[in-house]
């Protein structure tokens, strides 16, 4: 057939509607509406090479409106990526296919980030754009010089996280970030006028963005708009006026095309309307050839770039960082050795700060930050000077009061590569960024959450600020490692484990209050197995106390009182339940004690779930209501978490 | 001393700095900065009567910047509310005092909503303003005609939820909502220029707001601005240019005043600077008298209003609704009786929709909505026509893609009184609104969350949309009741329990997929005890299967296969673990079986925590990884949740 841009775009439309129909599930409207815009982007603007999907200096493309996944699957296939194959696309949304309902970066190399939860792709792209500017500043321009492109829908723009992402990008002046807004006037419930009256361009301008608009079905107009966006030094929003489900004769422009197959009749009508006479999944040779030629255009730039990398003075360091490999060195062990000499009684947030001082000095890839709680989360170190619009080489981001935007940006930096991000807020406000923490876990990103004020131990700020269910609820999240260290040495050990963990996120739950030192041995990272015996019973062992974080020292005090009463008690510190669960039976049962031994858990949070370690016959000390506002000692007494409250209950239980 | 407005405001400043100093903890900066603005608000604009804190037609005042709690405690005391007393204020942030670190509506009558988690007070106030307009539309103007006032800080405005709240308020044209923005240019980390470059007034205007500004220390200018805000038909943002910690000689205008006591020396300097010569907690008689006179001004309006209510045709219904009492009637029982005749095999989201049809017809106080998933959450009924800017009498809100804003608005409606809000999204997106769900639980609000697509059973949308940890993680939240019904009858019963629950929120976890009917008995609400024996063992009882929601029918099939193998098995349906945990020992142990009986749980989510019901010796079937994108049957097979996968493991275990 005649190779026109429209026909090339129609190949996307046909694949999208046919794949959704075959799966009897999916979202054809968005790919059909944005096919023309995407064709221009992949023709003349995006820097990519299907033969080298992980080329470090490629542009990053994020389909924030992830439900339109058939758009990216079509583009990757048409431009010549090894996957998805046509067979993969025919198996859209089946277990066997990498073409999942929503794009999953762990299944397809051409997918930069997993999207679907609205707003997050956009906010993740902000992190990628930060990463690019930072690496550009600390490495040579020859090595890092690319853009970040996003396709976002009304849903992405309406979500609260959009405000945070837009604010951050505008503040940091991320001019290489360009967002193509699929301005189709439709959401699932119907026209956007049902729920919003916003002047979106005005809002973006208010945050320092450049805004341009185009007719999303006019190739020249699209090209002109994208060119203007590229040229402008500010981050750009390109409002692409489109028709959702473009081509579907009776359904286009309506929410009926959004999230359901068009149906055989409508699909036939669409074929007629588009002049697309080919059977499902048949892409005519000349159209495919043209697409492949487009896809091949980037090879030269990639090859040039490789030439520049080869022999570049920064090649080894750049390659190491992009591979996510840690440098050799003994910084952590030296730091631990220092701690062991005079173990301090710091709050674990303070222990974290001091450990971070050593870590960030040794690891230039670490970029820190806080959602406006720098002095409370103790996240800033001498090595991490501010990353600002005027100095992207800095390594500390003042995220502002934007927990969700921060976490998503951290994902973006980790996914970009070359950076290990960490960021802090109060543990209770994981409720504000949980959606992004879950995407860290799904995507296996090395994002490290520094969550301080981890219990009623924060004191007077009261129940709205006191985590009760949070530590446990994060433990429920697959692939999230939750660390709750008990003293300065454990804190450093947990940091070492979090950094070493290349394939998933970690959360450090840290105290506001000071804690006594419990250890002075540092030859082995005892936190590595998730739990260990901190103290063995002296008298005949009848009790095993399992505790975490600030309650380990309490458990030690309880144990001392039990021993004084002739009752032998082990104390097990369990800084990471997930790692402990991964140990073999022998290790776990040795630690938790055999039959006839009473297992007792102590953690200043919900007791729900601790039955896993104590059994039903054990005792669980914790807090199963909301907290209260009072000085710390009053609170621990009020909630019964004291030696005097706990010990008699244990003695009574063992008779 | 001379009674001037400044001196009256200084009384607030003195109480704030002295209370924080006494507690050695708290936030003096904001109350000191906003004291002048608040004085004007409580003098000439706010409609309130300290003698009748629950007067239905009072203006609602929300201190969204809840860390500035000493502002509202001072105002309530000075204007003459029974609590807090001066003694209460002296005990600021102590267990014995209702003056908690952050304002708690369940401790002080003059506090309309619990604040502290930033952004939420503002978004909750949007719900209050919706409630007011709705009740104004369905009741007489004589009964409901008030405003909602908010004090918000930069943190409240930077949070993502602010975008959602501003968008919703602008779209619904909530002209009686006026927000006083404490524009002090300071956040915890330092100047706002560290993290934001936004033109805030421009952003608000872009969403249909009216914006006016004033010098927050010039009483005439404040008065003028508030007057303009009142007069404008749009929601208003009043930018009050203030100095944080106003009066503190060396610290004012800096973040040092934000979250820590000023210290004795700075406090002495402040006394000098303000000309406030009185000792801590001493309010001179003439100043207090003037404040009390201000506080007394509202009594006449309140008395007039009571006069209008007395004998009003709508008095009984209005009073019933504001008291949160349910009407008499048999709608639910009639509906259940109908179901029992021909129990349908609906998805529980569909069962919920049909039940809601009966419920919303019977209960005019129910206002529904969805975060742009109306057709998926099945939240709209014939009785709930749209609530729009042009028709506030509607009972269905198209919240848009604003989960967090929706949940906070639901809290606001519930707290306002007269309304029982319910709202829907996908269960997985509780991660987006968890912060507000927690405030529902803390505040004991009757907000009902309709969370559909509650497991891998949603199929092809894949892991980003499939809850794994969510049901269990909501169970961890104190005071949240999580219902996961198994068929149409259980769904109706759970709805009845959620509505009856006047003192806390409920979450209904509902399926996308159809489920077979399991019951035809409706004489007793069997869900009321949280769990019940759905099927008793026929052969000698050796197994108890405990399941929820969609897995109850699977448990029934497993039980049938076990019985066929000569193994007696009970099936326990557990639609609400929290209610079950509240039953006595006898009931719980009878249901879960004695020693020698194998307890088995089946729930298509994390198994973590199910040890509470199975013990360590039991078996737990569930999913401890993320889901996948595929048709439902393939997924249940892939994750081993089938009769054929489960039954042999049980038989093997019991030998």
The alpha-carbon gap from B111 to the nearest alpha carbon of chain A, in Å, equals 15
pLDDT band of residue A1 (cuts 50, 70, 90) is: confident
Tokens encoding B462: 């894949």
CA neighbor of A453 nearest in space, from A361, A516, A370: A370
B176 to chain A, any CB pair closer than 8 A? The answer is no
DSSP per residue, B50-100: TT-TT-TTSPEEEESSGGGHHHHHHHHHHHT-SSS-HHHHHTTTSTT-S--
Mean local confidence (pLDDT), B640-646? 98
The alpha-carbon gap from A448 to the nearest alpha carbon of chain B, in Å, equals 19
- Enumerate the H helices of A312-368 as residue ranges: 315-323, 331-341, 348-362
CA neighbor of A448 nearest in space, from A400, A505, A408: A505
The alpha-carbon gap from B306 to the nearest alpha carbon of chain A, in Å, equals 36
Chain B CB contacts of A635 below 8 Å: 95
Burial of B632 (0-12, 13-18, 19+ CB in 10 A): middle
Q: Distance between CA A390 and CA A393 in Å, rounded?
A: 9
Over the stretch B430-478, which tens digit does the pLDDT of each residue have?
A: 999 999 999 999 999 999 999 999 999 999 999 999 999 999 999 999 9
pLDDT of residue A594: 80
Facing B442 at nearest CB: one of A26, A464, A629? A464
A·B CB contacts under 8 A: 336
pLDDT of residue B526: 98
Q: Distance between CA A172 and CA A166 in Å, rounded?
A: 10
Facing B100 at nearest CB: one of A189, A629, A634? A629
- Among the listed residues A403, A490, A493, A603, the single catalytic one is A403
B465 and A101: CB-CB below 8 Å? yes
A116 to chain B, any CB pair closer than 8 A? The answer is yes
Q: Distance between CA B164 and CA B182 in Å, rounded?
A: 20
A197 and B170: CB-CB below 8 Å? yes
Over the stretch A273-306, which tens digit does the pLDDT of each residue have?
A: 999 999 999 999 999 999 999 999 999 999 999 9
Chain A CB contacts of B100 below 8 Å: 462-463, 628-629
A159 and B164: CB-CB below 8 Å? yes
pLDDT band of residue B1 (cuts 50, 70, 90) is: confident
Q: Distance between CA B534 and CA B520 in Å, rounded?
A: 11
pLDDT of residue A132: 98
Q: How many CB atoms lie within 10 A of CB A328?
A: 6
A401 to chain B, any CB pair closer than 8 A? The answer is yes
DSSP per residue, A27-41: --HHHHHHHHHHHHI
DSSP per residue, A266-297: HHHHHHHHHT--PPTT---HHHHHHHHHHHHT
Chain A CB contacts of B438 below 8 Å: 431
Average pLDDT, chain B: 97
CA neighbor of A164 nearest in space, from B575, B157, B301, B166: B157
pLDDT of residue B593: 86
pLDDT of residue A595: 82
The alpha-carbon gap from A581 to the nearest alpha carbon of chain B, in Å, equals 11
Tokens encoding A486: 């008990």
B158 and A634: CB-CB below 8 Å? no
CA neighbor of A380 nearest in space, from A359, A362, A401: A359
A615 to chain B, any CB pair closer than 8 A? The answer is yes
The alpha-carbon gap from B222 to the nearest alpha carbon of chain A, in Å, equals 25
Q: Distance between CA B162 and CA B64 in Å, rounded?
A: 11
Tokens encoding A525: 């990272």
Q: Distance between CA B130 and CA B136 in Å, rounded?
A: 10
- Scanning B427-486 for CB atoms below 8 A from A yields 428-429, 431-432, 434-435, 438-439, 441-442, 459-465, 468-469, 472-473, 475-479
Q: Distance between CA A629 and CA B632 in Å, rounded?
A: 47
The alpha-carbon gap from A600 to the nearest alpha carbon of chain B, in Å, equals 14
Mean local confidence (pLDDT), A347-372? 98
Facing A203 at nearest CB: one of B203, B374, B463? B203
Mean local confidence (pLDDT), A398-405? 98
B405 to chain A, any CB pair closer than 8 A? The answer is yes
SS3 per-residue string spanning B301-354: HHHHHHHHHCCCCCHHHHHHHHHCCCCCCCHHHHHHHHHHHCCCCCEHHHHHHH
pLDDT of residue B160: 98
B102 and A461: CB-CB below 8 Å? yes
Q: Distance between CA A160 and CA B434 in Å, rounded?
A: 13
B475 and A207: CB-CB below 8 Å? no
- Model confidence at A514: pLDDT above 90: yes
Instruction: Name the residue of chain B whose CA is nearest to A197's CA.
Output: B171
Percent of chain B with pLDDT over 70: 100
- Model confidence at B594: pLDDT above 90: no
Facing A469 at nearest CB: one of B119, B163, B476? B476
Q: Distance between CA A640 and CA A223 in Å, rounded?
A: 67
Chain B CB contacts of A116 below 8 Å: 461-462, 464-465
pLDDT of residue A59: 98
Chain B CB contacts of A162 below 8 Å: 160, 163
Q: Check: CB of residue A613 under 8 Å from CB of residue A592.
A: yes
- Model confidence at A468: pLDDT above 90: yes
B23 to chain A, any CB pair closer than 8 A? The answer is yes
Over the stretch A628-646, which tens digit does the pLDDT of each residue have?
A: 999 999 999 999 999 999 9
Percent of chain A with pLDDT over 70: 100
B160 and A159: CB-CB below 8 Å? yes
B634 and A162: CB-CB below 8 Å? no
B478 and A469: CB-CB below 8 Å? yes
Q: Distance between CA A397 and CA B195 in Å, rounded?
A: 8
pLDDT of residue B24: 97
Tokens encoding B598: 């194998």
Q: Check: CB of residue B168 under 8 Å from CB of residue B400.
A: yes
Task: For an interface test with B, give the residue of A203, A397, A458 to mutate (most B CBs within 10 A).
Answer: A203
A106 to chain B, any CB pair closer than 8 A? The answer is no
A635 and B23: CB-CB below 8 Å? no
Q: Which residues contact B586 (CB under 8 A, 6 or more apart)?
A: none
User: Does A403 qualify as catalytic in the annotation?
Assistant: yes
Over the stretch B522-535, which tens digit does the pLDDT of each residue have?
A: 999 999 999 999 99
Facing A171 at nearest CB: one of B164, B195, B464? B195
What does the buried/exposed string (b/e) look like for B473-494 if buried means 16 or more CB atoms within 10 Å of the residue's CB? bbbbbbbbbbbbbbbbbbbbbb
Mean local confidence (pLDDT), A242-263? 96
Q: Distance between CA A646 and CA A624 in Å, rounded?
A: 16
CA neighbor of A237 nearest in space, from A117, A116, A152, A124: A152
- Model confidence at B511: pLDDT above 90: yes
The alpha-carbon gap from A484 to the nearest alpha carbon of chain B, in Å, equals 18
Tokens encoding B236: 């208003």
Chain A CB contacts of B154 below 8 Å: 401
Q: Check: CB of residue A622 under 8 Å from CB of residue A601.
A: yes
- How far, in whole angstroms, is CA A124 from its chain's centroid? 8
pLDDT of residue B522: 96
Mean local confidence (pLDDT), A404-433? 98
Chain A CB contacts of B203 below 8 Å: 202-203, 206-207
Task: For an interface test with A, give the residue of B25, B94, B400 to mutate (most A CBs within 10 A).
Answer: B400
Average pLDDT, chain A: 97
pLDDT of residue A623: 98
pLDDT band of residue B595 (cuts 50, 70, 90) is: confident
Q: Distance between CA B459 and CA B634 in Å, rounded?
A: 9
Chain B CB contacts of A207 below 8 Å: 197-199, 203
A103 to chain B, any CB pair closer than 8 A? The answer is no
pLDDT of residue A337: 96
The alpha-carbon gap from A287 to the nearest alpha carbon of chain B, in Å, equals 30
Q: Check: CB of residue A463 under 8 Å from CB of residue A628.
A: yes
The alpha-carbon gap from B340 to the nearest alpha carbon of chain A, in Å, equals 33
B401 to chain A, any CB pair closer than 8 A? The answer is yes
Q: Distance between CA A635 and CA A462 in Å, rounded?
A: 10
A267 to chain B, any CB pair closer than 8 A? The answer is no
Q: Which helix (H) or strand (E) holds B571?
A: strand B568-573
B26 and A460: CB-CB below 8 Å? yes
The alpha-carbon gap from A164 to the nearest alpha carbon of chain B, in Å, equals 5
Enter the ipTM: 0.98
Tell me the pairing of strands B448-452 and B210-215.
unpaired
Tokens encoding B29: 């900066």
Instruction: Name the residue of chain B whose CA is nearest to A163's CA.
Output: B160
Chain A CB contacts of B162 below 8 Å: 160, 163
pLDDT of residue B371: 98
- Model confidence at B68: pLDDT above 90: yes
Q: How many CB atoms lie within 10 A of CB A275?
A: 12
B460 and A26: CB-CB below 8 Å? yes
């Amino acid at each position: 057939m005649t190779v026109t841009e429209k026909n090339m775009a129609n190949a996307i439309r046909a694949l999208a509607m046919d794949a959704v129909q075959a799966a009897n599930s999916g979202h054809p409207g968005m790919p059909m509406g944005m096919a023309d815009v995407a064709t221009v982007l992949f023709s003349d603007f995006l820097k990519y090479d299907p033969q080298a999907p992980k080329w470090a200096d490629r542009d990053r493309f994020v389909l924030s409106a992830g439900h339109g996944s058939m758009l990216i699957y079509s583009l990757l296939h048409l431009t010549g990526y090894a996957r998805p194959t046509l067979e993969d696309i025919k198996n859209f949304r089946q277990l066997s296919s990498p073409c999942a309902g929503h794009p999953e970066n762990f299944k397809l190399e051409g997918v930069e980030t997993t999207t679907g939860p609205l707003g997050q792709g956009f906010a993740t792209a902000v992190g990628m754009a930060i990463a690019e500017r930072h690496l550009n500043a600390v490495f040579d321009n020859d090595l890092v010089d690319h853009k970040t492109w996003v396709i976002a829908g009304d849903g992405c723009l309406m979500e609260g996280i959009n405000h945070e992402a837009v604010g951050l990008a505008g503040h940091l002046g991320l001019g290489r970030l360009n967002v193509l807004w699929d301005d189709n006037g439709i959401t699932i419930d119907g026209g956007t006028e049902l729920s919003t009256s916003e002047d979106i361009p005005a809002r973006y301008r208010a945050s320092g963005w450049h805004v341009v608009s185009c007719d999303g079905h006019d190739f020249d107009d699209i090209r002109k708009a994208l060119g203007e966006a590229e040229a402008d030094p500010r981050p750009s929003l390109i409002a692409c006026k489109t028709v959702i489900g473009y081509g579907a004769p009776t359904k286009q422009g309506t929410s009926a095309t959004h999230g359901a197959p068009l149906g055989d009749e409508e699909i036939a009508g669409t074929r007629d309307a588009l002049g697309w006479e080919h059977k499902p999944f048949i892409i005519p040779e000349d159209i495919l050839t043209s697409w492949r030629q487009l896809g091949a255009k980037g090879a030269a730039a990639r090859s040039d770039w490789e030439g520049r990398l080869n022999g570049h003075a920064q090649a080894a360091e750049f390659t190491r960082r992009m591979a996510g490999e840690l440098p050799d060195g003994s910084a952590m062990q030296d730091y631990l050795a220092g701690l062991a000499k005079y173990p301090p009684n710091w709050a674990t947030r303070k222990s974290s700060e001091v450990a971070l001082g050593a870590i960030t000095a040794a690891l230039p890839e670490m970029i820190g930050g806080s959602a406006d709680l720098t002095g409370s989360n103790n996240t800033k170190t001498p090595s991490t000077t501010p990353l600002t619009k005027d100095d992207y080489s800095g390594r500390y981001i003042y995220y502002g009061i934007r927990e969700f935007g921060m976490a998503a940006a951290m994902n973006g930096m980790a996914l970009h590569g070359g950076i290990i991000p960490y960021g802090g807020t109060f543990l209770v406000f994981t409720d504000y960024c949980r959606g992004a923490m879950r995407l860290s876990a799904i995507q296996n990103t090395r994002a490290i959450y520094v969550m301080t004020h981890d219990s009623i131990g924060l004191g007077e700020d009261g129940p709205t600020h006191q985590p009760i269910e949070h530590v446990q609820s994060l433990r429920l999240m697959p692939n999230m490692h939750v660390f709750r260290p008990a003293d300065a040495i454990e804190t450093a050990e947990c940091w070492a484990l979090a950094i070493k963990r290349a394939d998933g996120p970690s959360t450090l739950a840290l105290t506001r209050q000071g804690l006594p030192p419990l250890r002075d041995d540092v030859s082995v990272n005892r936190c590595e197995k998730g739990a260990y015996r901190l103290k063995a019973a002296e008298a005949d062992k009848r009790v095993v106390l399992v505790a975490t974080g600030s309650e380990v020292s309490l458990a030690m005090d309880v144990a001392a009182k039990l021993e004084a009463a002739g009752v032998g008690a082990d104390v097990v510190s369990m800084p990471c339940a997930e790692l402990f669960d991964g140990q073999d039976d022998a290790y776990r049962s040795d630690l938790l004690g055999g039959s006839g031994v009473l297992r007792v858990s102590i953690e200043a949070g919900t007791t729900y779930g601790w039955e896993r370690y104590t059994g039903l016959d054990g005792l669980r000390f914790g807090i199963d209501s909301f907290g209260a506002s009072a000085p710390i000692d009053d609170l621990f007494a009020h909630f019964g978490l004291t030696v005097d409250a706990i010990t008699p209950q244990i003695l009574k239980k063992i008779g």
